[in-house]
Amino acid sequence: MLNVGVLVSGSGTNLQAILDKIGEGTLPIHISTVVSNNQRAYALERARQNAIEAVCIRKKDYADADEYEQALISHFKDRNVELIVMAGFMVILGKSFIRAFYNQILNIHPSLIPSFCGDGMYGLRVHEAVLEKGVKVTGATVHYVDEGTDTGPIVMQKAVDVLDADTPSTLQRRVMEEAEWVIYPEAIRQIAEGNLMIENNKVRRRHP
């Protein structure tokens, strides 16, 4: 069974979607640890309610970014984590961490990459930009994390219609409900079952 670690900064709604699928018996993974940079993150409580180790590792408690990343690396290595799931982690990870877990870090972005992504595009900012541009379709993208911003191999995407009456908040909620909470657990399941591979920086399904 795939051993997973989670990085999260806030309430952990994507974490909850994953936990729900584990509870249903449709996601064959074991989450061994949930780590937050925010000691007040409700995601830590979600982990505790599911008997999962909940740990706060704060960047400000370390001398510099490299020391902080080494602490994260050691934490996940000590627990033999095979896949790291970023579920709204608001700290930029550097080269040391990414290289330590190359092609083992997943993220979800609330748009259809390569649209509305990159530096500074996160949270409500993404949905504000979508509405400002007037596009008719948005969505969410699960991708591997590399050294760029939202530039790693795309695992899965799902489209969501933009409605005329949408506000950034209503659009954010619908993208979560109709896309993020659907494709994130499914992408993890596909990885856990060994159905996917990366070739030439693209994610492909393994042939039976």
Which tens digit of pLDDT belongs to each residue from 51-99? 999 999 999 999 999 999 999 999 999 999 999 999 999 998 999 999 9
What's residue 206's pLDDT?
87
User: What percentage of the chain has pLDDT greater than the value 90?
Assistant: 98
Question: Is 109 annotated as catalytic?
Answer: yes
| Confidence grade of residue 208 (pLDDT, cut at 50, 70, 90) | low
Catalytic residue among 30, 75, 109, 207: 109
Instruction: Supply 23's token pair.
Output: 């509870």
| Bond from prior residue into 185 cis (ω within 30 degrees of 0) | no
3-state SS, residue 133: helix
Read off the pLDDT of each residue in 39-55 and give the average, rounded to a whole number: 97
3-state SS, residue 155: strand
Tell me how far apart the alpha carbons of residues 45 and 203 are, in angstroms, rounded to a whole number.
Answer: 33
Q: Please state the pTM of the whole predicted model.
A: 0.95
